A and B are shown apart, each in its own frame.
Chain A
Amino acid sequence: MNDQAANGFDFSVPAASTIAPPIDALFYTLVALSLAVTIVIICCILYFCIKYRRGNAVDRTDSEVKSLKLEDTWIAVPLVLFFALFCWAAVLYARIFTPPPNTLDIFVVGKQWMWKVEHAAGRQEIDALHVPVGVPVRLVMTSQDVIHSFFVPAFRLKQDVLPGRYTALWFQATKPGVYPLSCTEYCGTDHSRMGGAVVVMSQEDYQRWASEKPPAAQEPKP
């Protein structure tokens, strides 16, 4: 984290998974669209409010507009636009739900108020998740008590973690680094402290890390 971040001025969030850029593309399209619609509507309202303010002598004849064509237009245009947005989002949503074959599976257990992670090679960690870059990883998750939610903003992904069943979340990290991990389903007193970090490492580093003997003491919270 740089100094700006420490001062609370950091208005960016890294995009560190394969799904993050396409989700951002849709997000910023929605932002642009919303801005455009807001500006057009607000400008119309302001224009009418100024031009037709009471006391301003302007032409108000034929004020009784009844236009089916206008109504139909502003029903049809949003319908088409919304359907397009739905499809765009749906394609990405399906990608989020469909892991590729041969994922690296890592097991995650949520409990009040910590994340316990177990790697295929046997290494365990708490409130941290080490993953290799460039490899599709699938988290197989469950909860020991209440509902939690596994959220990594840099990956633009989250998935609720439920007691009594498994949920899965797959991603492929694209940039080595340390990214915040939060619980986003309210889970009781220390909900806001239930978090940690996702550490994205090169594949060799991950191999070495996973096969290392863990230090005797528990890994410190990053």
Chain B
Amino acid sequence: MTQARTAMARSYLSDGTTIRSWLTTSDHKRIAIMFSIAITAFFFIGGLAATLIRIELATPQGDVVSAETYNKLFTLHGIVMVWFFLIPSIPTTLGNFLLPIMVGARDLAFPRLNLASLYIYILGGIFTIVTVIAGGVDTGWTFYTPYSTMFSNSYVLLAAAGVFIVGFSSIFTGLNFIVTVHTMRAPGMTWFRLPLFVWAMYSTSIVMVLATPVLAMTLALIGIERIAGIGFFDPALGGDPVLFQHLFWFYSHPAVYIMVLPAMGVVSEIITCFARKRIFGYRFMVYAIAAIAVIGFLVWGHHMFVAGESMYAGLVFSLLSFLVAVPSAIKVFNWTATLYKGSISFDAPMLYALGFVGLFLIGGLTGLFLAATAVDVHLTQTYFVVAHFHYIMVGGAVMAYLGGIHYWWPKITGKLYREGIAQAAAVLMFFGFNLTFFPQFLLGYLGMPRRYHEYADRFQMLNVLSSAGAVVLALAYLIPLTYFTWSLFRGERAPANPWRATGLEWTIPSPPPTHNFTHTPQISDEPYAYAPDSRE
């Protein structure tokens, strides 16, 4: 049992041990723990679907599952991974746990709204699981009309309802973060003394609050068209199917930044700590985060260069898409420059952070291919796109999420994990990831369309490589699950600051007491006050 061993205060983990004390808590740290359990469960559900997809694609024939089942599998994989893992991943776990502590507050601004966010997430999750049990949905996670409204014979409404509901969880969490950052910063914690993780959470929250309602409305219109036959999107009813795509991507492109901005925040914390350096160009990093959040709202049409939008619309969206790549490039350059004259150690969190930079770099550069209109005409809707967004979302967001979990694990649980196996898992994950997704770039250029149950024989070699990589990747994801579980029960007790990191969260005990701080902290310096010791 984790009895509070410090004389200061009881840890949040020992402050009430009944199930009821957890389910009715308003402690941001406990809510973060419950969120992390829920999203981990969904990650493995989505991962199971991905595994079945890669098994099917090991051979050109559709011989493992039927075409209907295959279509339902990639739809489930997309819905679960996007809305039930990636979007909530860093904000609801690390964000929930750390944001109040990082700004020097006792909790979020609205603790009960935070708990409501969890229960709404779970309700949305139940809808999704019921959808699968009832027989699944086969529209793809993008719900393109008029297929989703008038043609699909699967459980579209149930699935859309789940996504509709979980959106409110995003909005609640985003609202909470915005108000907390505005009103609850400790004395001396000025805007430009905020850790970049907080800036990332803040920008992400603004995107969540502004974009998610558009998704909710769009899904509601799907429901109305499907139930009542009122034409919004089906031309047979007087609607416009391209209108749906505009509305959907108006949310879903910013959603990419909901996934990757928090990852950038995590990586900035880790690289500074393990290089023992201040971040290079702090203000530029802040402006880059803000620029990505703003310009990210203006690029949705790059999903539609061949969808029937006008040439001029295509050109404007192309230009803006190139523009949004500039702040991302700045961030990569600044992370690299941060390493200069550092005192670098390669603990597991750092390996994940460096892996993130490499994979995000490739994901970003291949994004340029897709922003280049004429090249996109050839590459869009092929495996090139699948590879590109997996480099950003899995290579980027998931690597950073896992890096963050490793980095803050001692703080959150009060326990240490075994460093050696964690480093091995990080390296294995990097190789497994590249083996899975790099061949898909080639497949896309060669012309293999995405969402194909069967494919031409000439694509088999690359698909076999990709499936082999998926085996490695699946294994690499299971390893942390085992040593983290081991750490919970058998791990050594963690000191307050095992990484000698700066930041308010490292000034309080591990695990933190219920009210975080015994007295309100005073902040008098910029973040990342690291200095490399020349003898190190």
Contact = CB atoms under 8 A, between A and B. Distances in A.
Contacts of A187: 147
A19 B323 CA distance: 26
B85 to A, nearest CB: 22
A65 B366 contact: no
Interface string B279-307: 01100100000000000000000000111
Contact of A60 (B68, B341, B456): B341
A65 B340 contact: yes
A90 B339 contact: no
Nearest to A47: B339
B67 interface: yes
B361 A41 contact: yes
Contacts of B333: 41, 74
Given A11-B442, A55-B536, A82-B326, A94 B311 contact: yes
A214 to B, nearest CB: 27
Contact of A182 (B329, B362, B447): B447
A25 to B, nearest CB: 10
B236 A163 contact: yes
A189 B372 contact: no
B446 interface: yes
B374 A23 contact: yes
A96 B374 contact: yes
Contacts of B354: 45, 49
B341 A63 contact: yes
Contact of B284 (A12, A71, A163): A71
A49 B339 contact: yes
Interface stretch (B47-55, B123-131, B203-211, B377-385): B377-385
Interface stretch (A1-9, A101-109, A204-212): A1-9
B67 A189 contact: yes
A5 to B, nearest CB: 4
B491 interface: no
Interface in A56-113: 57, 59-66, 70-71, 74-75, 78-79, 82-83, 85-86, 88-97, 112
A145 B148 CA distance: 12
A89 to B, nearest CB: 4
Contacts of A89: 318, 371-376
Interface stretch (B458-466, B467-475, B481-489): B458-466
Given A34-B366, A93-B374, A180-B456, A52 B326 contact: no
Contacts of B60: 8
A13 B374 contact: no
Contacts of A120: none
Contacts of A159: 306
A88 B458 contact: no
B497 interface: no
A192 B457 contact: no
Contact of A34 (B306, B330, B365, B450): B365
Contacts, number: 272
Interface stretch (B101-109, B138-146, B159-167, B193-201): B138-146
B452 A191 contact: yes
Given A6-B457, A41-B361, A183 B449 contact: yes
B451 A23 contact: no
Contacts of A90: 315, 318, 373-374
A27 B376 CA distance: 10
Contact of B449 (A78, A83, A97, A184): A184
B203 to A, nearest CB: 19
A118 interface: no
Contact of A185 (B144, B336, B357): B144
A140 to B, nearest CB: 13
Interface string B419-461: 0000000000000000000000010011101111111111111
A136 B456 CA distance: 28
Nearest to B325: A82
B447 A151 contact: yes
Interface string A30-52: 10011001100110110011001
Contact of A53 (B140, B235, B337, B345): B345
Q: Which of A151, A158, A180, A193 has the most CB of B within 10 A?
A: A158
Contacts of A127: none
A165 B375 CA distance: 25
Contact of A52 (B138, B280, B332, B339): B339
A151 B381 contact: yes
B368 interface: yes
Contacts of B322: 82-83, 85-86
Given A63-B341, A78-B325, A192 B374 contact: no
B374 A42 contact: no
A114 interface: no
Contact of B144 (A94, A147, A164, A180): A147
A153 interface: yes
A161 to B, nearest CB: 9
A191 B71 contact: yes
A48 B340 contact: yes
A146 B151 contact: yes
A65 B339 CA distance: 11
Contacts of B307: 147, 160
Contacts of A191: 67, 71, 451-453
B277 interface: yes
A7 B371 CA distance: 33
A60 B330 contact: no
Interface string A120-157: 00000000000000000000000001110101011011
Nearest to A4: B458
B67 A146 contact: no
B339 A48 contact: yes
Contact of B241 (A37, A38, A163): A163
Given A82-B326, A147-B307, 11 more contacts: A8-B462, A34-B368, A64-B278, A71-B281, A82-B325, A89-B318, A92-B374, A146-B144, A163-B235, A165-B308, A188-B152
Closest 3 pairs (CB-CB, A-B): A164-B235, A153-B447, A8-B460
18 contacts: A8-B464, A19-B374, A26-B374, A38-B361, A48-B340, A49-B339, A52-B532, A53-B344, A66-B281, A74-B330, A74-B333, A82-B323, A92-B373, A93-B315, A94-B311, A112-B151, A189-B67, A191-B452
